[in-house]
Each structure stands twice: as structure tokens, then as C-alpha cells.
Chain A
């Protein structure tokens, strides 16, 4: 594709023109934090954000999503993708979206996710401020972000815009872009290499060593119970995770008792009843009854179980789980380092 440059002074005009033609979702402030939200004005856009509360997967896979509406016995699909530009995604979240793209595509392809995903143009951007609990530089180092349509890198005096697909290239029409020169390309490459060294926390081993050692610790029940001692089973670490994709489906009637909706909502394996299964005739059993076994499952799931399928760990180092855990026990860096250092 192509590598373009736009001057800082022309940048807001570009975003404004894009917003006139498209629905643009980008990082915006919410109290002292950030969220991905639909832009109503250019100055809402906060490309200097560190991390958002929820990952951008919520655009394709909302926390609560109606799958179908029913009217008596007749069901109607709720798939109704709205074209959007998802603007300003950090590279760790692009990696996470690439994982959920793969996971929702395998076996029974999930059209509720895929239709929204296909309608979205994803533009990545440089991490200008780093979240205090991020460790993206030390996890899945051999996994490169892919699946996005363009990437914006902030350099002196403006932005380098690398277009990767025709969806990304289409956005060039909205701004005064010129071809980037070699010096600008080199500066952008340097910025994007350096940003990976800026995450404050660090996993002290390579992914395959981590996977091997964490798997070996499976039977150390006491260790897992100790890690989980202060766990509230509140599922916050799951809900904010960009690579978690479990959901629960329920049918609810409207008050007319005739119509209603089948809705899915994000679930989490740290919740106490997540693994509760029906045994029939009113009986049930929970196959991960203890806090320790649930805590272990999440770490296994992120660092071990899916590595082969995904080509790397199912964790991208965003640090959202660490930030969201009020007991501060969720940080994978602390858990994994303790295990690898024995």
C-alpha cells in the first residue's frame, strides 16, 4: 500500500472531514479515564490516551448484544452492521482484535461478530502515553499486529499514515496527505520500535518458557489458592480483557409476554458460577469451585492453552486487568514472574 504524511496543522481538518462522511469511534475522556466512544466533535478525540477502560472489541462484540428479537414463535436476526471507522487503536489492541477475529471465525463462524467487524475500518496509532501497568513490550514479542487498515504514527511536525488496505486508503480523500519522504518513514519506524520498550512492567521470560513453566505449576494448588486469596470473583479482569470472548445467552420476554429478545452478554471465568453445569433434574455441579482453580484457569488460558492455536499467548500486555482489580492480584506479570523465577 502507501506511506503518506499529513502536517499537524492539517490533522484536525482531516478528522473533521472524515467525521462528516463517516461514523468515527475513537478514544475520548471519561472522568479521569478513557473509553472508545463515537466522536461528536474533533476536539473530543484524545489520541494521547494511555489505555481505555474496555477494549475496542466492544464495537463488534458489545457487552450486551441482542442476537434475535422474537414475536411469538417468529425470530428475526439482529445482525445489522453499521459502517464505522475505529480510529486510534494501540498496537496491543490490534493484536487482540486479530485474535478475536480468528476465534469468532473458527468452527461455527459467529456472524453477529463478523458482520460488525467487516463493517469497521481500523486505524491504529502510536502509544503517546503509557498505562502504568502495561507490559506489552514483553509479551508475544514475535506476534505482529495485523488485520488493521492503516496506522498513524506521530512524528515531528505531523503524522505518518501507512495505509494497509483499500478501506484504509479511502480515508486519504479526507485530508491533505502527501507522500512521506524517507526521513519521515525512518522516524516513524523508530517511534514504533521505541514504543515497545516503554511499557513499565516486564515478564521475565519468553512466551514458550512461560507456557512450559506455568503449565508445570498446574498441580500446585496451594500456590494458586495463595494467588487468589483476595479474589472477589468479580470478573473485572475478564470483562476488561481484550482477548476474553466468553458470553452467556439468555431469552427475555417483553412485558407484553409475547415478544422479546435473545441476548448475549460478556461472561467471565473468574465468576463463581461460571463453570456450574446442569446435571439434570435440578442438580448441578461446579467444576471450578475454588477461587484458586478459577484464578489458575485464567492464567492458563492467557499464557498456555491457546498459544499453539493463536501463535502466541492470549495476552497482549495492555494491563487492563491489573488496573481493574481492586485487590490488585490480577496482574499476570506478578503471577508469571513468580512462577518462572520459581
Chain B
């Protein structure tokens, strides 16, 4: 019997779902020969309340009212995978955790509308147990195939927990710091293959931090070698890693 998979989305741009369909033959369509998709809002209208083998969850947990839906998914899924930066770490949504006046700044006169009331944005593991995370904004096709393939074969997928520098060096990419630029590669979780520095732009740590980031050294290097102001160096990694930083807002 084919493995039953379903896709769910929470606070996000749904870009990872779109990315999934963009994978085309190379990943998505071919995988359909091995799984049965039972729910996938971006690609089909059917829904299910039946048990699921693998639930893919996209988007951050940012309002209490989502907790129940997440718990229901958890209850009927054998494996829960948080995919994409928002689900895995809270992603870019977590910027709001440090922005007291975001509603006014973004919505102006409409800022008091009740649906804008949300809490801190966190990864879905703040609400339910997550078995695996596929990091990245958006997630990477190859990593998605790798993780799913391992699970289909009953094997434990290996999720890298070392910095992006490893992949840059393996690619023989000239270090951003040696070009007078800055970068977050030293603390960013690898697994993407380091395409951004190879294309000439710094790593922004869209996959979040490694488990043990050296934040203090990063700040120092961003100032001394990267030429950033002390203020900018201090907050530089917030864009994608707000929830991984030592000053993360817990509630």
C-alpha cells in the first residue's frame, strides 16, 4: 500500500508548497509513484480526516487557535515533518517577536482588526512533537527527496548540523570575508549546498543556526572582518534565526 502523505500550512507564504510543485519531474511527480497524496491545498481540493503516514507541515505556529489543528494532525500522523524555515524555526515570521509596533507600522489605521492578533511566531515544535525538520527558505529539493527517500526505506535521514562554511569550502567558493563582505555561514546550518555565497551574496542563515552557534564570535567577526557597525552586527542574524538566538523571545 502506498505511503499516505498530506500537506498542511500555517503562518507562511505557502512558497514551499509552490516550490514542491516546481520540483516537477525531478522530485515531485516522480515521488507520486511512491506515495499517495491525500491532502495538499495548493495542488488539490480533496481533504482527509483519515490516518496519515507522513504529515508535512509548512508555516510557523503563531496563534493559539492553531494549536488544536496541529494536535489533530499530530494525532493521526505517524511521522510529522516540519518543512521550510517557518515551520522548522519560525523563520522570517519570528522577526515580529522583537517588533512591538509591527501592527501599526504595517497596517496603519487597520491595525486593530482582530485577526491581526497573534502571538510570537515559533516553529511548529512549540505546539507539537516534530520528528524531522527540512530547513530552508525555501526548502531544498534535494534535501526533501533525501529525507523522504530515507523514510520510505525505513531509514533515519541525516540532517546536517554543521555550518555552511563546510559546503562553501567544499565548493571552493571564495569566502565573502576575503572579498570585503560579511556572511553568516559560520553559524548557519548547512545542507543547502551553499548556493548563495557561490552566487556572490552572503549567507543569511535561512536554515537557522547549527545546534551550538558561537554568537559572540560571530558578532566580533562581523564587526572586525565584515565591516558591520556594532548595532548591525548584534542583530544581523535575526532575519531567519530570531528563535535560535540567545535573545529569542520565548512567549
Contacts and interface: CB of A to CB of B under 8 A. Distances in A.
A35 to B, nearest CB: 5
B174 A235 contact: no
A233 B212 contact: yes
A254 B229 CA distance: 46
Contacts of A35: 172
Interface stretch (B5-13, B43-51, B71-79, B145-153): B145-153
B221 interface: yes
Interface string A251-279: 01111110010000110100111000000
A23 B30 CA distance: 37
A138 interface: no
B225 A326 contact: yes
A33 interface: yes
A321 to B, nearest CB: 11
Nearest to A329: B217
B205 to A, nearest CB: 12
Given A255-B30, A257-B34, A230 B146 contact: no
A272 B210 CA distance: 9
A253 B149 contact: yes
A63 interface: yes
Contacts of B158: 250
Contacts of A234: 162-163, 165-166, 185-186
Interface in B167-204: 169-172, 174-175, 177-179, 183, 185-187
A327 B172 contact: no
B218 A232 contact: yes
B104 interface: no
B174 A236 contact: no
Contacts of A30: 172, 174
A252 B179 CA distance: 35
Contact of B162 (A64, A230, A233, A255): A233
A266 B170 contact: yes
A268 B162 CA distance: 10
Contacts of B146: 252-253
A252 B225 CA distance: 38
Given A54-B169, A268-B166, A31 B179 contact: yes
Interface in A24-48: 30-33, 35
Interface size class of B (residues with CB under 8 A): 35 or more
Nearest to A53: B172
B27 interface: yes
Given A232-B214, A257-B152, A54 B163 contact: no
Nearest to A231: B214
A235 B162 contact: yes
A315 interface: no
Contacts of A33: 174, 178
Contacts of A256: 30, 33
A176 interface: no
A240 interface: yes
Contacts of A327: 186, 214, 217, 220-221
A322 to B, nearest CB: 12
A50 to B, nearest CB: 13
A239 B164 CA distance: 12
Contact of A235 (B34, B149, B163): B163
A232 B217 contact: yes
B223 to A, nearest CB: 12
A233 B163 contact: yes
A229 interface: yes
Contacts of B162: 233-235, 271-273
Contacts of A229: 217
Contacts of A235: 162-163, 165-166, 169
Contact of A231 (B149, B170, B171, B217): B217
B187 A232 contact: yes
Contacts of B27: 255
A184 interface: no
A230 B146 CA distance: 33
A324 interface: yes
B21 interface: no
B172 A230 contact: no
B149 A326 contact: no
Contact of A239 (B152, B161, B166, B214): B166
Given A54-B169, A235-B162, A327-B217, 11 more contacts: A30-B174, A232-B217, A233-B210, A234-B165, A235-B163, A255-B27, A255-B31, A255-B145, A260-B149, A271-B166, A272-B211
10 contacts: A33-B174, A58-B172, A231-B214, A232-B163, A233-B210, A236-B165, A239-B170, A255-B27, A272-B212, A326-B165
List 5 tightest A-B contacts by C-beta distance, closest first: A234-B165, A239-B169, A63-B170, A232-B186, A230-B217
